[in-house]
Amino acid sequence: MSSSGTTARLLPGGPVAERVLAEVADDVVALRAAGVTPALATVLVGDDDASAGYIRIKQRQAAELGFASPHVHLPASTSQADLHRVLEDFNADKDVHGVLVQYPIPGHLDYDRALQVLDPDKDVDGLHPVNMGRLALGLPGPLPCTPAGIEALLAFHGVPVAGREVVILGRGATLGRPLAMLLAQKRPTANAAVTVVHTGVADWPRYTRRAEILIAAAGVPGIIQPEHVRPGAVVVGGGVRYEGRRLLPDVDESCAEVAGAITPRVGGVGPTTVAMLFRNAVVAARRAAGLG
Ligand SMILES: NC(=O)c1ccc[n+]([C@@H]2O[C@H](COP(=O)([O-])OP(=O)(O)OC[C@H]3O[C@@H](n4cnc5c(N)ncnc54)[C@H](OP(=O)(O)O)[C@@H]3O)[C@@H](O)[C@H]2O)c1
């Protein structure tokens, strides 16, 4: 046991992201050799510092990978119609393969409505209703990035998922719900017995305590405490809340004293999410170029 009392094996996301991004880089080289420059467009509405920072990170990553990254910055006063026009322009642009609208957008705008305007094949977040439908039916399409990143993270670290009891705390549209669909699919890195708990299940600890793999997807800081974890279980922290730049995870650090393996507080699920965004973008570019 270390001085902090930590016993659990750490499951960092960095090496997973590196592997995924190396594959993406190979695909970019092949696309460029075929005369196609993959392009991931970004849209920022308003002047939120954190959102501008996330866009910069993604643009830097895009440049490193050899993507073009056209960017539109709209003022905070933008109308829903103006936002839709930008997305329609990107839809019509054959040289743009993926489009990302940085979340959150100002409160007077409806993110879900804007998402529905986007061409589902350019939806690199994988959250368009058509893509959620494809996921539910097991059809090919961009996968929601955080759920796909969690599946990749478990596979990379050799955590068996098939046949095991997975409990997800949270049924939100970006994380819990699509993750449940993904991990229940009939594939070697999924194929789990998945249970989803939420505010409608008052005694949710009864379920989390029996989980072999517990995934926090609530966005409630510290909601998962050691008494909610089965000794030796694998714990994945997906849910986070930001207070300014301070990251407050769902999983309390002390859970590492009970878990067998756990994602680190920083550098767990986050890096895999970004990597999956670029994977979705390069797959979209390959498909648009008729390469697969
Ligand atoms: N790490 C990353 O890269 C990444 C990416 C995407 C999202 N996230 C994080 O993932 C989290 C979930 O995102 P989302 O959009 O899917 O969330 P969401 O729509 O806010 O859903 C939260 C879910 O948690 C449940 N919940 C909240 N408080 C609870 C409580 N006290 N007891 C039991 N259940 C509770 C809610 O239950 P009800 O349905 O009953 O209300 C809901 O199903 C957020 O923290 C988000 O920041 C992280």
Distance 96 CA to ligand 1 centre (A): 31
Radius of gyration from C-alpha coordinates of the chain:
19
Predicted confidence at residue 60, as pLDDT, reads 95
Average pLDDT over residues 191-206: 98
pTM (two decimals): 0.95
CB atoms within 10 A of CB 41: 26
Phi, psi of 124 (to 5 degrees): -70, -15
Q: How far is CA 147 from CA 44, 64, 75, 154, 257, in A?
A: 23, 24, 31, 11, 25
Identity of residue 201: V
Ligand 1 neighbourhood includes 147 CB (under 6 angstroms): no
What value does the mean pLDDT of the chain take? Answer: 96
State yes or no: pLDDT of 81 exceeds 80: yes
CA atoms within 13 A on the CB side of 30: 15
CA atoms within 13 A on the CB side of 115: 19
What is the C-alpha to C-alpha distance for residues 31 and 82, in angstroms, rounded to an integer?
Answer: 32
**101-160 per-position pLDDT tens digit:** 999 899 999 999 999 999 999 999 999 999 999 999 999 999 999 999 999 999 999 999
Ligand 1 neighbourhood includes 145 CB (under 6 angstroms): no
Predicted confidence at residue 5, as pLDDT, reads 58
Catalytic residues: 58, 102, 125
Whether residue 280 contacts residue 124, with contact meaning beta carbons closer than 8 Å, is answered with yes
Ligand 1 neighbourhood includes 268 CB (under 6 angstroms): no
